[in-house]
């Protein structure tokens, strides 16, 4: 229960950061996708039905807060969770560089899913070129921030585990 609470609070914090404060950074058009990093963390270290539901809810919360098309981020986050879950079963993923690369690929998967689904609903001239550059910049930014976010989440989990052990 405490681990669920940790991820719930982390989800709210990253959602608030991503939709408000991070827009003040000098990289403003490209905001780091911290919800994606949290989704990758759940897929790597907590592959369960609850984590899959959490990934879907992370995407849905991004949709509710800042998307014109409801459900598009929920679909993309679910797809990312599935891809990370399947790849984590085949690759040893404890190295921060490897996990950063996985976040990079997950961000590219999410971006491609968003572009393909958006293409069904939006027809704008030059959409593909602008979307492609944005996806690549966002993916690299998420990959750079992934080790820091993973370290913070691991530290939070260790506090939860120590508190659980002390309570027993």
Per residue in 122-132, pLDDT (tens digit) is 665 655 566 77
pTM: 0.81
Task: Give the residue among 70, 81, 144 at the shortest CA–CA distance from 110.
Answer: 81
Q: For residue 32, name the pLDDT band (cuts at 50, 70, 90).
A: confident
The per-residue pLDDT for 41 is: 92
Residue-averaged pLDDT of the chain: 84
Measured CA to CA, the distance from residue 112 to residue 23 in angstroms comes to 22
| Residue 35 binned pLDDT confidence (cut-offs 50, 70, 90) | very high
Q: Let me know the angle formed at the C-alpha of 16 by 12 and 20, rounded to the nearest 5 degrees.
A: 175
Rounded Cα distance, 7 and 125, in Å: 40
Q: 39 pLDDT exceeds 90? A: yes
- The 10 Å CB-count burial string (b at 16+, else e) for 34-61 is bbbbbbbbbbbbbbeeebbebbbebbbb
So where are the chain's domains? 2-21+32-157
Span 75-98, average pLDDT: 83
In the predicted model, what is the mean pLDDT of residues 47-70? 90
Q: Higher pLDDT residue, 104 or 126?
A: 104
Arithmetic mean of pLDDT, 77-84: 92
Kindly write down the DSSP assignment for every residue of 103-128, as one continuous string.
HHHHHHHHHHHHHHHHHHH---TTHH
Give CA–CA dist 43/28, Å, rounded.
28
Provide the 10 A C-beta neighbour count for residue 16: 13
């Amino acid at each position: 229960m405490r681990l669920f609470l940790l991820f719930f609070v982390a989800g709210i914090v990253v959602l608030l950061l991503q939709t408000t404060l991070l827009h003040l950074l000098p990289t403003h058009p490209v905001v780091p996708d911290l919800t994606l990093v949290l989704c990758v963390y759940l897929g790597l270290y907590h592959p369960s039905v609850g984590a899959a539901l959490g990934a879907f809810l992370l995407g849905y919360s991004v949709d509710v807060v800042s998307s014109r098309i409801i459900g598009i981020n929920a679909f993309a986050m679910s797809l990312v969770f599935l891809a990370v879950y399947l790849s984590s079963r085949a690759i040893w993923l404890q190295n921060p560089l490897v996990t950063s690369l996985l976040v990079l690929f997950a961000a590219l998967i999410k971006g491609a899913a968003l572009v393909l689904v958006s293409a069904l609903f939006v027809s704008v001239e030059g959409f593909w070129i602008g979307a492609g550059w944005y996806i690549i910049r966002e993916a690299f930014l998420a990959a750079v921030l992934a080790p820091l976010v993973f370290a913070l989440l691991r530290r939070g989990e260790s506090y939860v585990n120590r508190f659980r052990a002390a309570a027993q």
